[in-house]
Chains A and B, each alone.
Chain A
Amino acid sequence: DVKVTQSSRYLVKRTGEKVFLECVQDMDHENMFWYRQDPGLGLRLIYFSYDVKMKEKGDIPEGYSVSREKKERFSLILESASTNQTSMYLCASSLVFSGYNEQFFGPGTRLTVL
């Protein structure tokens, strides 16, 4: 079974803090993704990576950065957390990037910024 794990299920941070969200997949997938999920807006892509040390901006990259030093690990960084970054963050991975290929998701990290 493909497994995507995220470092925390719940996280509470203060405005201005630097926040790291970690994601690890165990199926040797090339592609990894970070989404945020907000009610009524669905999943919105923040960043994705199709190879180690490679990254591409998604639809809402502002205020975020990412790091992919190893194939199995993809980190999302909030440089200076703000209250409007309170959200559910989902990590996903896929073997091939296409509309036919399944994305496997982690359980999500619910981040609250106070």
Chain B
Amino acid sequence: TQLLEQSPQFLSIQEGENLTVYCNSSSVFSSLQWYRQEPGEGPVLLVTVVTGGEVKKLKRLTFQFGDARKDSSLHITAAQTGDTGLYLCACLYGNKLVFGAGTILRVKS
């Protein structure tokens, strides 16, 4: 069982559609990070959320940390082909950064 469960595993949508991906756990975290990994590259940090209920916006991306700090969501408005990639959530667990399995997003033109 993974510490962080991400859903859906795979999402294929048309350009212009909205979408939400989720990162859930039964554990409480002091912070949670979202990374995006484009094909052929390493992951790149998008955001870190630290406060329960926190909402952060990065252009068309909206990140939310659950009130209980056990879950997080990433909402993309009007998806573009450049949003295609693997979205990973990560948290500090003990002395290690633990990653979820990720959501593969494919945006078709």
Flag if B41 contacts A107 (CB, 8 Å).
Answer: yes
Q: List the A side residues contacting B98 at CB < 8 Å.
A: 45
A4 nearest CB neighbor, chain B only: B42
Q: Which of B13-21, B26-34, B52-60, B72-80 contacts A (4 or more CB under 8 A)?
A: B26-34
Inter-chain contact total with CB atoms closer than 8 Å: 56
For residue A54, CB closer than 8 A to chain B, the reply is: no
Q: How far is the CB of B54 from chain A (nearest CB, A)?
A: 13
B interface residues, Cβ below 8 angstroms from A: 2, 9, 29-33, 40-45, 48, 50, 88, 91-92, 95-102
Q: List the B side residues contacting A42 at CB < 8 Å.
A: 2, 88, 99-102
Other-chain residue from A4, A59, A99, A107 in contact with B40 (beta carbon distance below 8 A) = A107
- Cα distance A102–B30 in the bound complex, in angstroms: 15
A residues 24-54 touching B (CB-CB < 8 Å) = 33, 35, 40-45, 48
A41 nearest CB neighbor, chain B only: B101
Q: How far is the CB of A101 from chain B (nearest CB, A)?
A: 8
Q: How far is the CB of A99 from chain B (nearest CB, A)?
A: 3
- Cα distance A43–B101 in the bound complex, in angstroms: 7
Flag if B44 contacts A105 (CB, 8 Å).
Answer: yes
Other-chain residue from B31, B50, B97, B102 in contact with A45 (beta carbon distance below 8 A) = B97
Q: List the B side residues contacting A44 at CB < 8 Å.
A: 99
